[in-house]
Amino acid sequence: MDILVPDFGSIFTKIHNPVLSRVIAAIFGGYLLANSVAILLPYLLPGSKANGVMTGILVSFLIYACAAMWVFSAKSAWQAWAGILFSCLLCISLVTIFMPNGLFSGEWF
């Protein structure tokens, strides 16, 4: 990494920009993953649904932070995206299995 300020202009002109890609993966992918894990948690934790949801929300920020760190430590931007999206998919499929009527049933919309 260049010790001087990177040329900010190029971030927007280059179509394939690994750094920008990681930034987006960390901010948006990380948020998505934090939500996915937190939505899954109430089904895995013992105790009432409300307590599970509360715990999920409370730990979601830590998951977010860890996800962001993972994105920047991955070998390549592609790998970072793959890891984030795979984890999200895994959580959401588990939720769909656990949820009595499935994730996108009446409760949502």
Partner 1 sequence: MNGTFRQSMSWLHTWAGLVLGWVLYFMFITGTVGYFNYEIDRWMQPEIPFTAAKPSQAHMLNIAEKRLQEVAPEATDLFIDFPVGRYPFLAIWWKNPVDEKTGEPGSFQNEKINLQTGKPLVTRDTGGGQLLYRMHYALHYIPFRLAYWITSLCAMFMLVALITGIVIHKKIFKDFFTFRPGKKQRSWLDMHNVLSVLPLPFHLMITYSGLIYLMFTTMPGILTASYGVGRENQQSFFEEIYTQEEHQEAAGKPAAKAPLSAMLIEAEQRWGTGRIGYIEIESYGDINAHITVAKTSSSGIGGGQTLTFNGVTGELQSANNFIQEADAPAQFYGVMTSLHEGLFANTILRWLYFLSGLMGAGMIATGMILWASKRSAKASKAGKTSKGLALVEYLNIGTIVGLPVAIAAYFWANRIIPVNLEARADWEVHTLFITWAIMLVHPYVATLFEGRNQTLTKVWIDQLKLASFAFGFLPILNLFTTDKHLGVTLLQGDWVMAGFDLSMLCISLCFGIAAYKIQRKQKMRTVSKKTNTSNAVSSEAASQEIITL
82 binds partner 1 (CB under 8 A): no
56 binds partner 1 (CB under 8 A): yes
53 lies in the site for partner 1, by CB under 8 A: yes
Q: Could you tell me the CA-to-CA distances from 41 to 4, 58, 101, 103 in Å, in that order?
A: 43, 11, 17, 14
- Residues between 7 and 36 that touch partner 1 (CB under 8 A): 8, 19, 22, 34-35
**Residues 6 or more apart in contact with residue 51 via CB below 8 angstroms:** 45
For residue 99, what are its two tokens? 């949820």
Q: Which of 28, 72, 78, 86 binds partner 1 (CB under 8 A)?
A: 72
Minimum CB–partner distance for residue 30 and partner 1 (Å): 9
User: Are the CB atoms for 55 and 45 separated by under 8 Å?
Assistant: yes
Q: Are 83 and 73 in contact (CB under 8 A)?
A: no
Q: Minimum distance from CB of 15 to partner 1 (Å)?
A: 20
Q: Is 101 in the site for partner 1 (CB under 8 A)?
A: no
**Cα(1)–Cα(5) distance, integer angstroms:** 9
Residues that bind partner 1 (CB under 8 A): 1, 3-6, 8, 19, 22, 34-35, 38-39, 42, 47-58, 60-61, 64-65, 68-69, 72-73, 95, 103, 107-109
